[in-house]
Amino acid sequence: MDYILNGFVEAFRLIFAFDRDVFSAVFISLQVSLIAIVLSAVISLPLGFIIATRSFAGKRLTITILNTLMAVPTVVVGLIVYTFISRQGPFGMLNLLFTPTAMIIGQFLLAMPILTALTISAVHAVDERIAPTALTLGANNRQLAYAVFLEARFGLLASVISGFGRIIGEVGAAMMLGGNIRGVTRTMSTAIALQTSMGEFELGIALGIILLLVAFLINVLFHYFQQR
Partner 1 sequence: MTKSVIKIENIKKNYDKRVILEIPHLEFESGMIYALVGPNGAGKTTLLRILNLLEQSDEGEMYFDGQQIKPTDFLSMRRQMTLVMQNAVLFRTSVFNNVAYGLKVRSSDEKMIHSSVLSALDLVGLTGFEHRKAKQLSAGEAQRVALARALVLQPKFLLLDEPTANVDKRNVSVIESVLRKVNSEFRTTIVFTTHDLSQAYRMTDKIISLLDGKIMDGGSENTLYGDFDKDDNQQSFINVIPTVRMMVEDYKADSSGIYVDLKDVNISFKPQSSNELNCLEGHVTSITMVNGMIRLTINVGIEMSALIKPEVFQEIAPNIFNQSVYAVFKVSDVYVF
Taking CA atoms, 136 is separated from 129, 132, 214, in Å, by 11, 6, 43
CB of 193 to partner 1, least distance (A): 42
Nearer to partner 1, 3 or 146 (CB): 146
Q: How far is the CB of 147 from partner 1 (least distance, A)?
A: 7
Contact 203, 8 (CB under 8 A): no
Nearer to partner 1, 47 or 139 (CB): 139
Closest to partner 1 by CB, 49 or 98 = 49
As a whole number of angstroms, the distance between CA 40 and CA 108 comes to: 6
| Measured CA distances, 35 to 42, 76, 173 (Å) | 11, 21, 15
CB of 161 to partner 1, least distance (A): 18
Q: Which residues bind partner 1 (CB under 8 A)?
A: 127, 129-130, 132-140, 143, 147, 150-151, 153
Rounded CA separation 177/89 (Å) = 13
Residues 177, 127: Cα–Cα separation, whole Å: 42
Q: How far apart are CA 101 and CA 133, in angstroms?
A: 44
Query: Closest separation between CB of residue 10 and partner 1, Å?
Result: 48
Residue 207 one-letter amino acid: L
Nearer to partner 1, 148 or 188 (CB): 148
Closest contact distance (angstroms) between CB of 130 and partner 1 is 6
Provide the minimum distance between the beta carbon of 144 and partner 1 in the complex, in angstroms, as a whole number: 9
> Does residue 181 contact residue 190 with C-beta atoms inside 8 Å?
no
By C-beta, is 151 or 170 nearer to partner 1? 151
Question: Do 129 and 76 meet the contact criterion of CB atoms below 8 Å apart?
Answer: no
Q: Which is nearer to partner 1, 160 or 211 (CB)?
A: 160
Residue 21 has phi, psi (to 5 degrees) of: -60, -40
